[in-house]
Amino acid sequence: MQPEHFTVLKDFLYQKSGLVITLDKTYLLDSRLSPVAKKWNITGGLDAIAQKLRGLPDPQFATDVIEAMTTNETSFFRDTKPFAQFEDTILPSLLQSRANKRSIRVWCAACSSGQEPYSLAMILKEKAALWTGWRIEIVATDLSEDILNSARKATYSQFEVQRGLPIQYLMKYFKQTGDQWALNEDIKSMIKFSKFNLLDSMVGLGRFDVVFCRNVLIYFDEKTKGAILAKISGQLENDGFLTLGGAETVLGITDKFKLMPDKRGLYVKNMGEPQSALKPALAKI
Ligand SMILES: C[S@@+](CC[C@H](N)C(=O)[O-])C[C@H]1O[C@@H](n2cnc3c(N)ncnc32)[C@H](O)[C@@H]1O
């Protein structure tokens, strides 16, 4: 691929989705974008794709390119611990602190094909007796409309349900149809799915008590991570909870959150004075 065309693709993806592509990831562009080239009858490989993206590209073509480059890897109860922490730390705390309001809002900020919000919904269903008369809303968003359609369908392969889903939940909440497993309507109806780009303003989403933003910041640079975490902080209630993925951290990126002691990837808002940079600076005054 010509260097100027690599730059076009790199800049386009960075501006539209935050994805950082380096030259050593050209193979990823190749493998992910060849089905898009086929769909749009484009011959001439990545160079031709880049040329078609220049100026004002067909919006559907632009969306196809952006969506093809997303990594949608996910599974039910992925990494186990965040879901155990939701059940034994987040939920008991909120059931106490929101006892007057009797309402909790949860946001899965990059939900992929739905396994993450549905795992939370199954935990909540198991604990239904604790929140009778409450309103618990789970909002699940993703950049990709294609993957959101899979999430809304909530029909999973044998392979997908074998990854992390406890067998008793499979038996209780899914119906087998051929080689597919369809999630029951009562769990499906607990989630509101919608398209949302983490690069956009979050104000319209309203405020949340819990945010799961897992395994998506890893694709962004520090500037984008910092901006997204600052916006999430703006939408999170002061005593709310943020869960990040196993390879993600706020360290060195933002002072807006602090890790809960003895927890993995579970953060609360840092309501104290700014840490790091400011303190040494003040000490010199
Ligand atoms: C690896 S999946 C993570 C799914 C789930 N949170 C988990 O941990 O299993 C990353 C998801 O982030 C979405 N994504 C990528 N860039 C995004 C953006 N700028 N805004 C919103 N979602 C984005 C992708 O479409 C993809 O579904």
pLDDT in tens, the chain (285 residues): 899 999 999 999 999 999 999 999 999 999 999 999 999 999 999 999 999 999 889 999 999 999 999 999 999 999 999 999 999 999 999 999 999 999 999 999 999 999 999 999 999 999 999 999 999 999 999 999 999 999 999 999 999 999 999 999 999 999 999 999 999 999 999 999 999 999 999 999 999 999 999 999 999 999 999 999 999 999 999 999 999 999 999 999 999 999 999 999 999 999 875 555 444 433 443
Q: What pLDDT score does 56 carry? A: 85
- The residue contributing the CA closest to ligand 1 atom 9 is 74
Q: Rounded to the nearest whole angstrom, what is the distance from the C-alpha of residue 106 to the centroid of ligand 1? A: 16
Q: What pLDDT score does 273 carry? A: 58
For residue 170 the two structure tokens come to: 């499979």
DSSP secondary structure string for all residues of 187-236: HHTTEEEEE--TTS--GGG--EEEEEE-SSGGGS-HHHHHHHHHHHHHHE
Q: Is the CB of 235 under 6 A from ligand 1?
A: no
Residues 6+ apart with CB under 8 A from 244: 213, 214, 217, 250, 265, 267
Q: Rounded to the nearest whole angstrom, what is the distance from the C-alpha of residue 4 to the centroid of ligand 1? A: 28
Q: What pLDDT score does 281 carry? A: 39
Beta-carbon-side half-sphere exposure of residue 223 (alpha carbons within 13 Å): 5
Token pair 């890897």 is found at 73
Residue 64 to residue 61: CA distance in whole angstroms: 5
Judge whether 191 and 136 are in contact, CB under 8 Å. no
Q: What pLDDT score does 128 carry? A: 97
pTM of the model: 0.94
Q: Rounded to the nearest whole angstrom, what is the distance from the C-alpha of residue 16 to the centroid of ligand 1? A: 14
Q: Rounded to the nearest whole angstrom, what is the distance from the C-alpha of residue 272 to the centroid of ligand 1? A: 30
Q: What pLDDT score does 276 carry? A: 52
- The residue contributing the CA closest to ligand 1 atom 3 is 215
- Tell me which DSSP letter residue 175 carries: E
Q: Is the CB of 71 under 6 A from ligand 1?
A: yes
Q: What pLDDT score does 280 carry? A: 44
> Which residue of 17, 73, 107, 112 sits with most ligand 1 atoms within 8 Å of its CB, as the best mutation to test the pocket?
112
Which amino acid belongs to residue 188?
Answer: K
Nearest atom within ligand 1 for CA of residue 74:
9
